[in-house]
Amino acid sequence: MTLEGKSVAILIAPRGTEEPEFSKPKQAVEDAGGKVTVVSFEPGKARTVNGDLDEGGSYTIDKTFSDVKADDFDGLVVPGGTVGADKLRGSDEAIGFIRAFFDQKKPVAAICHAPWTLIEADVLKGRTLTSYPTLKVDIENAGGTWTDEEVVVDNGLVTSRDPDDLPAFCAKLVEEIAAGN
């Protein structure tokens, strides 16, 4: 499966995004030949976390939310991390950016706590997805159907529960982005 010629945005919330949920999908897109743009609130560098508490890696932010629009990309990856997902869902710019991918029917991949951002974007009505188990009621209250599976694909939306699901999550997100909208 190749992503040659495809451009993918991946979000990062400084000191909040979960390291493997950021780095593994980023690597999967790059390994498939896709171009990754790291998007965040401010320019510079952002640090990820491990287990929400321990310091992770440092990554260069390529663009800020004010510099990008969904039109510029073929797909979006929203990594989890409790703090990171919470920071993202609290940003009108981030939520508007995420919602635009759904409006344009472009592939979106969200893992672990990242579906909080999808709830905030009001894009889950009638969709089936998975997440970290504690989001089940939130997803159901937002009109979605929650299921406990390694990876769920619903009309271009790829979701997984936690870092243990990353191999399946990464494979499916590459497949969905390659297929396009």
Does the structure show a pLDDT above 90 at 181?
Answer: no
Average pLDDT score over residue span 98-123: 98
Check whether 18 has a pLDDT greater than 90.
yes
The reply to whether 112 belongs to the active site is yes
Asked if 111 and 82 count as a contact pair (C-beta separation under 8 A), the reply is no
What lies within 8 Å, CB to CB, of 67 at 6+ separation is none
Mean pLDDT of 156-169: 98
Catalytic choice (87, 106, 113, 172): 113
Rg (CA), the chain: 14
Catalytic residue among 13, 83, 109, 112: 112
**Global pTM value:** 0.97
pLDDT of residue 53: 87
- Specify the pLDDT at position 61: 98
pLDDT for 21 equals 98
Total domains in the chain come to 1
Mean pLDDT throughout 99-107?
A: 98
- Residue 170: CATH number of its domain: 3.40.50.880
Range of the domain at 169: 5-177
* Predicted pLDDT of residue 52: 87
Share of the chain above pLDDT 70, in %: 99
Has 170 been annotated as catalytic?
no
To which residue do tokens 């909080």 refer? 116
What is the average pLDDT score of the chain?
Answer: 97
SS (H, E, C) the chain: CCCCCCEEEEECCCCCCEHHHHHHHHHHHHHCCCEEEEEECCCEEEEEEECCCEEEEEEEECEEHHHCCHHHCCEEEECCCHHHHHHHHCCHHHHHHHHHHHHCCCCEEEECCCHHHHHHCCCCCCCEECCCHHHHHHHHHCCCEECCCCEEEECCEEEECCHHHHHHHHHHHHHHHHHCC
Query: What's the pLDDT band for 157 if we cut at 50, 70, 90?
Result: very high
pLDDT at 72: 96
Does 126 have pLDDT greater than 80?
A: yes
